Amino acid sequence: MNNTNTPQSLAKSLTGIRGLDEITEGGLPKGRPSLICGNAGCGKTILGMEFLLHGALDYNEPGVFVSFEETNDDLTSNFAALGYDLQDLEARRLLAIEYVYIERSEIEEAGDYNLDGLFIRLGQAIDAIGAKRIVLDTIEVLFAGLSNAAILRAELRRLFRWLKDKGVTAIVTGERGERTLTRYGLEEYVADCVILLDLRVDEQIATRRLRIVKYRGSEHGANEYPFLIDKQGISILPITSLGLDHTVSDERISSGIPRLDTMLSGEGYFRGSSILVSGTAGSGKTSVAAKFIDAACGRGERCLYFAFEESPQQIMRNMLSIGIDLAPWVAQGRLRFHASRPSVHGLEMHLVTMHKLILEYDPVNVVVDPISALTVVGSDKEAKSMLTRLIDFLKTRKITTLLTGVTHVGDKLEASNDEIPSLIDTWLSLRDIEHQGERNRGMYILKSRGMAHSNQIREFILSDKGIDLFDVYLGPDGVLTGAARVGQEALDKSTIVSRQHDIQRKKREYEHKRQALEANILALREEFDTATEIIESLSEEEKQRDAVIIHDRADMAKLRRADLSAA
Amino acid sequence: MLELIAGTEKTSTQTSSADKKWMLRLYVAGQTLKSIVARANLQRICEQHMADRYHVEVIDLLENPTLAKDDQIIAIPTLVRNLPIPVKKIIGDLSNTERVLIGLDIYPAEM
């Protein structure tokens, strides 16, 4: 085997189209033709032209755009809308537009022919500017203009071989056929790389999708990737392009609610983490978000607020009623609102709009309020994929993200926003606690990755002074909040007071008793002392009497002259 | 470069379209078999149907490649009928005489 024949990895030509180079893992096959097919209006021409424009401006590869449908003037004005000056590029010899005009009614076929005229034109255009790229949009017009399909097929085969020999990277566009990829079977000739574009309308919302049908000799993403065409051209957002390899921060930032920080092991959220605040309507999610924003702006950080339900004015007015004034932050440029109805675009457009705003404004914190509004636009699955990509994107940029999500009354709490929780680092749940005819708000931390967090439910109170978290009453009857908690606390207090009274009374009672006993003891002691005295005096008396008796006897014996020895 | 095949100045016997003139251009790319056949066919048809009333210019695109763009030439050979208007393109080696005559706006009545 010859050494020069050892297989090399396929050389690729970067398209410069955001996302496409990622899913093709480096672009289109270099020096070979690729086929882009799809229905009318699906973006083939823009994709082709962008390939040339990026080649000319970013990769120093001039290109030829062979248009079978649109004239130079049409193309120039169409792409002026995207901010490109095609005439200027032509003047700088970075781009050549070759408009090929075929009108069947003006053509009479009288015998054998070939397409040397076209070859000569392409060769001229390529050589004139040293083109490395070429787009043929769409070559199938030949089939409409010329009737001899046998000649056309042979000539197309020759054309693609010729382009390969010239070493130009080519894009050939083709209309989608009924059952085939292209109406005239172009995929037969251009077999290296086939990309299918699709525009689907689902519930009045159009979504564009791109799929790589085949890419010979290369790895490629096999999914259908949604893409967008907007003022900046095409952007494709491959779902899997972002991995889980973003760096994480140990820095902690305040939630804006001191008591909540305490619950989050005393320090608040992690910087760059994703926080979900879920709860039923009116449970105070936006208030938690506003507190967070207020604190962040106070630290001098830029915040971007995506509002899908309320207008910025409405949010600011409402937040003012609980003592959070966001207007100064907006005025200082630290807070920007982006409010839009979820239904104005498809999900992908939302995602790209958000991407763009984030890239443009470069915020430190982002709020999406609420994410559940987006499920209205797309299916749950699409919404999930969109949020995954959004959160991944935000995480790679180390942006702290607070999302709010609506759960519905009666939903199992943990079922809210179905699969989204796996993306969430800190999940705060706001619950309505209904008891004794009133509704109160409770908050607890469902999870918070990487920190020892409180497992306690706290009563969440919104007042004109802001947000407060209180311990709930935990008694034999369970968790009590609101008036019930206050009532129970009062009841507890009165019980304690009456018990204290009881004790005081008993104390006094026994004091009396003790005092009485002491008096008794005193009296008895006196009695005892008296008795002792009496006993002492009696024994003295006895002694004296004995002495007297002995004396008397002696006297008597003396008198009787008795024997004294007896004495 | 340019090559002219001019009809000889003879008076026409067909008075009905005596003032009808044909301005034709034949585009070829080198001396290929197709181009040789096309020129021979054209010569024959012109002499038969438009004697003295035609003017043919033969353009070799290998020598004048930019003309391919200017005149919107795709197929080779292409015969362009600039007159009578409207402009018509007849592509191929002109071996199908019937189609060539239709393309040249020559009706069977004149044949």
pLDDT in tens, A198-250: 888 766 667 788 888 888 877 776 777 778 787 777 877 665 545 556 677 78
pLDDT band at A419 (very low <50, low <70, confident <90, very high): low
pLDDT at A516 over 90: yes
Residue A353's Cα: distance from chain center in Å? 16
DSSP class of residue A10? P
Domains of chain A: 10-241 (3.40.50.300), 252-471 (3.40.50.300)
Tell me the percentage of chain B whose pLDDT exceeds 70: 79
pLDDT at B56 over 90: no
Of A117, A123, A124, which is closest to B78 when you measure between CB atoms? A117
pLDDT in tens, A367-404: 998 887 777 776 777 777 778 878 888 888 888 999 88
pLDDT in tens, A276-324: 888 887 788 888 889 899 999 999 999 999 998 888 999 899 888 888 8
Of A98, A117, A123, which is closest to B73 when you measure between CB atoms? A117
Mean pLDDT of A474-493: 74
Per-residue model confidence (pLDDT) at position A468: 80
Per-residue model confidence (pLDDT) at position B9: 42
Q: Do A108 and B88 touch (CB under 8 A)?
A: yes
Q: Which one is predicted more confidently, A106 or A476?
A: A106
Residue of B nearest to A111 (CA): B92
The CB density around residue A263, as the number of other CB atoms within 10 Å, is: 23
Per-residue model confidence (pLDDT) at position B10: 42
- Name A304's bridge partners: A336, A366
Q: Residue A368 to residues A205, A276, A280, A373: CA-CA distances in angstroms?
A: 21, 10, 16, 10
Distance, CA of A267 to CA of A261 (rounded, Å)? 5
Q: Do B93 and A100 touch (CB under 8 A)?
A: no
Tell me the percentage of chain A whose pLDDT exceeds 90: 15
Q: Do B72 and A100 touch (CB under 8 A)?
A: yes
pLDDT at B14 over 50: no
pLDDT at A343 over 80: no
Among A52, A23, A19, which residue's Cα sits nearest to residue A213? A23
Average pLDDT of every residue of chain B: 78
The CB density around residue A202, as the number of other CB atoms within 10 Å, is: 12
Which of chain A's residues have a Cβ under 8 Å away from the Cβ of B97? 110
Per-residue model confidence (pLDDT) at position B98: 83
Enumerate residues 6+ apart whose C-beta is below 8 A from A526.
Answer: none
pLDDT at A416 over 60: no
B37–chain A nearest CA distance, Å: 10
B72–chain A nearest CA distance, Å: 6
pLDDT at A197 over 70: yes
Per-residue model confidence (pLDDT) at position A452: 83
Which of chain A's residues have a Cβ under 8 Å away from the Cβ of B88? 106-108
Of B69, B78, B94, which is closest to A121 when you measure between CB atoms? B69
pLDDT band at A523 (very low <50, low <70, confident <90, very high): very high
Per-residue model confidence (pLDDT) at position B51: 77
- Residue in this structure with the two tokens 């172009």, named with its chain if needed: A186
Q: Structure pTM?
A: 0.64
Of A294-298, A409-413, A509-513, A548-552, the least confident: A409-413
Q: Do A118 and B87 touch (CB under 8 A)?
A: no
Q: With beta carbons less than 8 A apart as the criterion, state whether A34 and A170 touch.
A: yes
pLDDT at A108 over 80: yes
pLDDT band at A537 (very low <50, low <70, confident <90, very high): very high
Domains of chain B: 21-105 (3.40.30.10)
pLDDT at A457 over 90: no
Of A69-78, A301-310, A330-339, A412-421, the least confident: A412-421
Average pLDDT of every residue of chain A: 83
Tell me the two tokens of residue A426: 């800190």
Per-residue model confidence (pLDDT) at position A241: 47
Per-residue model confidence (pLDDT) at position A246: 67
Distance, CA of A335 to CA of A242 (rounded, Å)? 27
Distance, CA of A198 to CA of B89 (rounded, Å)? 37
Distance, CA of B88 to CA of B79 (rounded, Å)? 8
Mean pLDDT of A108-116: 87
